[in-house]
Structure 1
Amino acid sequence: MASASVALGYRYDWLSQAVRRAGKTLKRLEDKGFTGRQFVEVSIGRATKSGASTAKTISIDDFDKLLEWAEENGTKKAKIIARTYTRATRKRSTIDDIREAFGEERLSLDERRKLFYQELAWAFSESDWREGDRAVDFKLVAELKSEGWEPPILFTLLDR
Protein backbone atom coordinates (compact mmCIF):
# COMPACT_ATOMS: atom_id res chain seq x y z
CA MET A 1 0.00 0.00 0.00
CA ALA A 2 2.86 2.36 0.80
CA SER A 3 4.52 1.77 -2.58
CA ALA A 4 1.25 2.39 -4.42
CA SER A 5 0.82 5.67 -2.52
CA VAL A 6 4.36 6.86 -3.26
CA ALA A 7 4.22 5.72 -6.91
CA LEU A 8 1.17 7.92 -7.44
CA GLY A 9 2.76 10.96 -5.81
CA TYR A 10 1.24 10.76 -2.35
CA ARG A 11 2.74 10.27 1.13
CA TYR A 12 3.65 6.65 1.95
CA ASP A 13 0.71 6.32 4.36
CA TRP A 14 -1.93 8.04 2.20
CA LEU A 15 -3.77 4.91 1.05
CA SER A 16 -3.68 3.09 4.38
CA GLN A 17 -5.07 6.18 6.13
CA ALA A 18 -7.77 6.67 3.48
CA VAL A 19 -8.92 3.07 3.94
CA ARG A 20 -8.70 3.18 7.75
CA ARG A 21 -10.59 6.49 8.05
CA ALA A 22 -13.34 5.41 5.61
CA GLY A 23 -14.09 9.05 4.78
CA LYS A 24 -14.73 11.05 1.62
CA THR A 25 -11.55 9.93 -0.15
CA LEU A 26 -12.41 6.25 0.27
CA LYS A 27 -15.99 6.92 -0.84
CA ARG A 28 -14.76 8.63 -4.02
CA LEU A 29 -12.34 5.78 -4.68
CA GLU A 30 -15.11 3.23 -4.19
CA ASP A 31 -17.30 5.20 -6.60
CA LYS A 32 -14.54 4.59 -9.18
CA GLY A 33 -14.63 0.84 -8.47
CA PHE A 34 -11.87 0.58 -5.87
CA THR A 35 -12.64 -2.37 -3.58
CA GLY A 36 -9.98 -2.07 -0.90
CA ARG A 37 -10.94 -5.55 0.23
CA GLN A 38 -8.31 -7.28 -1.85
CA PHE A 39 -5.37 -6.43 0.38
CA VAL A 40 -2.99 -9.35 0.81
CA GLU A 41 -0.22 -9.35 3.39
CA VAL A 42 3.13 -10.69 2.19
CA SER A 43 6.42 -11.22 3.97
CA ILE A 44 9.42 -9.54 2.34
CA GLY A 45 12.93 -10.67 3.24
CA ARG A 46 15.56 -8.05 3.92
CA ALA A 47 18.82 -8.01 1.99
CA THR A 48 20.87 -6.24 4.67
CA LYS A 49 19.28 -7.49 7.90
CA SER A 50 17.90 -10.75 9.17
CA GLY A 51 14.16 -11.14 9.40
CA ALA A 52 11.42 -9.87 7.17
CA SER A 53 8.96 -7.04 6.84
CA THR A 54 5.25 -7.36 6.21
CA ALA A 55 3.68 -5.46 3.35
CA LYS A 56 0.05 -5.09 2.30
CA THR A 57 -0.51 -5.42 -1.42
CA ILE A 58 -3.46 -4.43 -3.56
CA SER A 59 -4.88 -5.99 -6.69
CA ILE A 60 -3.93 -4.67 -10.11
CA ASP A 61 -7.58 -3.70 -10.59
CA ASP A 62 -7.50 -1.56 -7.44
CA PHE A 63 -4.17 -0.03 -8.51
CA ASP A 64 -5.73 0.87 -11.87
CA LYS A 65 -8.62 2.57 -10.05
CA LEU A 66 -6.16 4.45 -7.82
CA LEU A 67 -4.17 5.48 -10.89
CA GLU A 68 -7.29 6.73 -12.65
CA TRP A 69 -8.39 8.67 -9.56
CA ALA A 70 -4.94 10.20 -8.96
CA GLU A 71 -4.59 11.15 -12.62
CA GLU A 72 -7.97 12.91 -12.56
CA ASN A 73 -6.87 14.77 -9.43
CA GLY A 74 -3.80 16.11 -11.21
CA THR A 75 -1.08 14.04 -9.55
CA LYS A 76 2.03 14.41 -11.74
CA LYS A 77 3.44 10.96 -11.05
CA ALA A 78 0.08 9.34 -11.82
CA LYS A 79 0.03 11.13 -15.16
CA ILE A 80 3.55 9.91 -15.89
CA ILE A 81 2.65 6.31 -15.02
CA ALA A 82 -0.54 6.41 -17.09
CA ARG A 83 1.36 7.82 -20.08
CA THR A 84 4.02 5.14 -19.64
CA TYR A 85 1.48 2.31 -19.57
CA THR A 86 -0.21 3.61 -22.69
CA ARG A 87 2.98 4.05 -24.70
CA ALA A 88 4.62 0.82 -23.54
CA THR A 89 1.48 -1.22 -24.24
CA ARG A 90 1.06 0.27 -27.70
CA LYS A 91 4.72 -0.29 -28.60
CA ARG A 92 4.75 -3.82 -27.19
CA SER A 93 1.61 -4.72 -29.11
CA THR A 94 2.99 -3.30 -32.36
CA ILE A 95 6.35 -5.05 -31.99
CA ASP A 96 4.67 -8.37 -31.11
CA ASP A 97 2.31 -8.08 -34.10
CA ILE A 98 5.20 -7.41 -36.48
CA ARG A 99 7.27 -10.25 -35.05
CA GLU A 100 4.36 -12.68 -35.32
CA ALA A 101 3.72 -11.60 -38.92
CA PHE A 102 7.28 -12.68 -39.77
CA GLY A 103 7.13 -15.89 -37.73
CA GLU A 104 9.29 -14.61 -34.89
CA GLU A 105 8.71 -14.94 -31.15
CA ARG A 106 6.95 -12.26 -29.17
CA LEU A 107 8.95 -10.02 -26.83
CA SER A 108 10.44 -11.79 -23.82
CA LEU A 109 9.66 -10.67 -20.28
CA ASP A 110 13.05 -8.94 -20.06
CA GLU A 111 12.45 -7.13 -23.37
CA ARG A 112 8.99 -6.05 -22.21
CA ARG A 113 10.38 -4.82 -18.90
CA LYS A 114 13.14 -2.85 -20.64
CA LEU A 115 10.58 -1.29 -23.00
CA PHE A 116 8.46 -0.21 -20.02
CA TYR A 117 11.46 1.32 -18.20
CA GLN A 118 12.53 3.19 -21.32
CA GLU A 119 9.04 4.62 -21.70
CA LEU A 120 9.00 5.55 -18.00
CA ALA A 121 12.31 7.39 -18.37
CA TRP A 122 11.04 9.26 -21.43
CA ALA A 123 7.84 10.17 -19.60
CA PHE A 124 9.94 11.56 -16.73
CA SER A 125 12.12 13.52 -19.13
CA GLU A 126 9.09 15.02 -20.90
CA SER A 127 7.43 16.16 -17.68
CA ASP A 128 8.21 18.60 -14.93
CA TRP A 129 9.03 15.72 -12.59
CA ARG A 130 12.05 17.65 -11.30
CA GLU A 131 9.64 19.52 -9.03
CA GLY A 132 8.77 16.20 -7.37
CA ASP A 133 10.82 13.82 -5.30
CA ARG A 134 14.06 13.77 -7.28
CA ALA A 135 15.83 11.42 -4.87
CA VAL A 136 13.27 8.68 -5.48
CA ASP A 137 13.32 9.25 -9.24
CA PHE A 138 17.12 9.23 -9.43
CA LYS A 139 17.17 6.04 -7.36
CA LEU A 140 15.00 4.39 -10.04
CA VAL A 141 17.32 5.65 -12.78
CA ALA A 142 20.37 4.33 -10.86
CA GLU A 143 18.72 0.90 -10.54
CA LEU A 144 17.98 0.86 -14.27
CA LYS A 145 21.56 1.86 -15.08
CA SER A 146 22.85 -1.02 -12.92
CA GLU A 147 20.82 -3.37 -15.12
CA GLY A 148 22.58 -2.06 -18.23
CA TRP A 149 19.98 0.50 -19.33
CA GLU A 150 21.29 3.64 -21.01
CA PRO A 151 19.38 6.76 -19.92
CA PRO A 152 18.21 9.54 -22.23
CA ILE A 153 20.62 12.48 -22.38
CA LEU A 154 18.44 14.48 -19.95
CA PHE A 155 19.14 12.06 -17.09
CA THR A 156 22.85 12.08 -17.84
CA LEU A 157 22.93 15.88 -17.63
CA LEU A 158 20.84 16.07 -14.46
CA ASP A 159 22.85 13.33 -12.75
CA ARG A 160 25.95 15.56 -12.56
Structure 2
Amino acid sequence: MTAPQRALTAILTVMLLFGLFRQSSLNELRQRVREEESGQRRFLATLATAAEDNQPLPPDPKPDALQWLSVNVFKGGLDRHILANNPTLGGAGAQVKMRNMKPEEVRFLLTKMTKVNLVFRELVLSDVGSRSVWDVQMIVENPKMEGTP
Protein backbone atom coordinates (compact mmCIF):
# COMPACT_ATOMS: atom_id res chain seq x y z
CA MET A 1 0.00 0.00 0.00
CA THR A 2 1.34 3.37 -0.91
CA ALA A 3 1.51 6.35 1.42
CA PRO A 4 -1.50 8.16 -0.13
CA GLN A 5 -3.55 4.98 0.16
CA ARG A 6 -2.59 4.60 3.84
CA ALA A 7 -3.47 8.22 4.51
CA LEU A 8 -6.81 7.81 2.75
CA THR A 9 -7.52 4.59 4.69
CA ALA A 10 -6.66 6.34 7.97
CA ILE A 11 -8.89 9.31 7.11
CA LEU A 12 -11.78 7.00 6.16
CA THR A 13 -11.32 4.98 9.37
CA VAL A 14 -11.33 8.14 11.50
CA MET A 15 -14.43 9.41 9.70
CA LEU A 16 -16.18 6.06 10.18
CA LEU A 17 -15.36 6.01 13.91
CA PHE A 18 -16.49 9.63 14.23
CA GLY A 19 -19.75 8.78 12.39
CA LEU A 20 -20.41 5.82 14.72
CA PHE A 21 -19.75 7.99 17.77
CA ARG A 22 -22.10 10.71 16.44
CA GLN A 23 -24.76 8.09 15.70
CA SER A 24 -24.71 6.81 19.28
CA SER A 25 -24.84 10.34 20.71
CA LEU A 26 -27.73 11.18 18.34
CA ASN A 27 -29.61 8.09 19.55
CA GLU A 28 -29.11 9.21 23.16
CA LEU A 29 -30.32 12.68 22.25
CA ARG A 30 -33.41 11.27 20.50
CA GLN A 31 -34.21 9.20 23.59
CA ARG A 32 -33.90 12.26 25.86
CA VAL A 33 -36.12 14.29 23.52
CA ARG A 34 -38.77 11.52 23.61
CA GLU A 35 -38.64 11.49 27.43
CA GLU A 36 -38.98 15.28 27.57
CA GLU A 37 -41.89 15.23 25.13
CA SER A 38 -43.72 12.55 27.12
CA GLY A 39 -43.12 14.56 30.30
CA GLN A 40 -44.47 17.65 28.55
CA ARG A 41 -47.57 15.73 27.40
CA ARG A 42 -48.18 14.51 30.98
CA PHE A 43 -47.75 18.06 32.27
CA LEU A 44 -50.16 19.48 29.68
CA ALA A 45 -52.73 16.79 30.49
CA THR A 46 -52.44 17.64 34.19
CA LEU A 47 -52.66 21.32 33.38
CA ALA A 48 -55.83 20.77 31.34
CA THR A 49 -57.37 18.83 34.22
CA ALA A 50 -56.44 21.59 36.65
CA ALA A 51 -57.89 24.20 34.30
CA GLU A 52 -61.20 22.30 34.25
CA ASP A 53 -61.24 22.18 38.05
CA ASN A 54 -60.37 25.88 38.37
CA GLN A 55 -63.06 27.41 36.21
CA PRO A 56 -64.26 30.61 37.87
CA LEU A 57 -67.59 30.35 39.61
CA PRO A 58 -70.23 33.06 39.52
CA PRO A 59 -70.05 35.76 42.21
CA ASP A 60 -70.62 35.18 45.91
CA PRO A 61 -73.77 33.22 46.69
CA LYS A 62 -75.62 36.12 48.25
CA PRO A 63 -78.32 36.32 49.39
CA ASP A 64 -79.63 32.83 48.48
CA ALA A 65 -76.94 30.21 49.15
CA LEU A 66 -79.30 27.29 48.59
CA GLN A 67 -80.27 28.27 45.06
CA TRP A 68 -76.69 29.21 44.21
CA LEU A 69 -75.46 25.77 45.29
CA SER A 70 -78.18 24.07 43.26
CA VAL A 71 -77.33 25.98 40.09
CA ASN A 72 -73.52 26.12 40.28
CA VAL A 73 -72.19 23.26 42.39
CA PHE A 74 -74.60 20.34 42.09
CA LYS A 75 -73.89 19.63 38.43
CA GLY A 76 -72.51 16.70 36.50
CA GLY A 77 -74.72 14.11 38.16
CA LEU A 78 -74.19 15.30 41.73
CA ASP A 79 -77.82 16.35 41.94
CA ARG A 80 -78.95 12.71 41.85
CA HIS A 81 -77.21 12.12 45.20
CA ILE A 82 -79.03 14.92 47.06
CA LEU A 83 -81.19 13.60 49.87
CA ALA A 84 -81.96 17.01 51.41
CA ASN A 85 -81.14 20.59 50.45
CA ASN A 86 -82.73 22.87 53.01
CA PRO A 87 -82.30 26.62 53.52
CA THR A 88 -81.00 27.95 56.83
CA LEU A 89 -80.62 31.45 58.23
CA GLY A 90 -83.35 32.83 56.00
CA GLY A 91 -81.66 31.67 52.80
CA ALA A 92 -78.18 32.86 53.77
CA GLY A 93 -77.16 29.26 54.40
CA ALA A 94 -77.95 25.71 53.41
CA GLN A 95 -78.02 22.27 54.97
CA VAL A 96 -77.22 19.62 52.38
CA LYS A 97 -77.30 15.84 52.75
CA MET A 98 -76.01 13.65 49.95
CA ARG A 99 -75.87 9.89 49.71
CA ASN A 100 -73.93 7.13 47.90
CA MET A 101 -71.26 9.32 46.34
CA LYS A 102 -68.18 7.87 44.68
CA PRO A 103 -64.80 9.17 45.92
CA GLU A 104 -64.30 11.10 42.65
CA GLU A 105 -67.66 12.83 43.13
CA VAL A 106 -66.78 13.78 46.71
CA ARG A 107 -63.47 15.22 45.49
CA PHE A 108 -65.27 17.17 42.75
CA LEU A 109 -67.83 18.53 45.23
CA LEU A 110 -65.23 19.60 47.79
CA THR A 111 -63.05 21.16 45.08
CA LYS A 112 -66.02 23.23 43.89
CA MET A 113 -66.88 24.21 47.45
CA THR A 114 -63.38 25.51 48.17
CA LYS A 115 -63.67 28.00 45.34
CA VAL A 116 -66.67 29.86 46.73
CA ASN A 117 -67.03 32.38 49.52
CA LEU A 118 -69.01 30.20 51.93
CA VAL A 119 -68.29 29.22 55.53
CA PHE A 120 -68.57 25.56 56.50
CA ARG A 121 -70.32 25.24 59.86
CA GLU A 122 -70.38 21.46 59.64
CA LEU A 123 -68.93 18.89 57.26
CA VAL A 124 -69.45 15.17 57.86
CA LEU A 125 -68.08 12.52 55.52
CA SER A 126 -69.25 8.97 56.25
CA ASP A 127 -67.79 5.91 54.55
CA VAL A 128 -70.69 3.57 53.81
CA GLY A 129 -69.45 0.05 54.42
CA SER A 130 -66.83 -1.40 52.15
CA ARG A 131 -68.53 -0.37 48.90
CA SER A 132 -66.32 2.70 48.50
CA VAL A 133 -69.24 5.11 48.58
CA TRP A 134 -69.66 8.11 50.86
CA ASP A 135 -72.43 10.07 52.52
CA VAL A 136 -71.84 13.80 52.84
CA GLN A 137 -73.61 16.19 55.17
CA MET A 138 -72.72 19.87 55.30
CA ILE A 139 -74.03 23.09 56.68
CA VAL A 140 -72.72 26.18 54.91
CA GLU A 141 -73.55 29.85 55.16
CA ASN A 142 -72.53 33.19 53.78
CA PRO A 143 -69.74 34.80 55.79
CA LYS A 144 -70.78 37.57 58.13
CA MET A 145 -69.25 40.86 57.11
CA GLU A 146 -67.84 43.18 59.74
CA GLY A 147 -70.45 45.58 60.98
CA THR A 148 -73.41 43.30 60.20
CA PRO A 149 -75.43 41.81 63.06
- Normalising TM by the smaller chain, what interval? under 0.3
Q: Which has the higher contact order (CA 8 A, sep 6+)?
A: 2
**Larger Rg belongs to:** 2
The normalised TM-score by structure 2 is: 0.23
TM-score, length of structure 1 as denominator length: 0.22
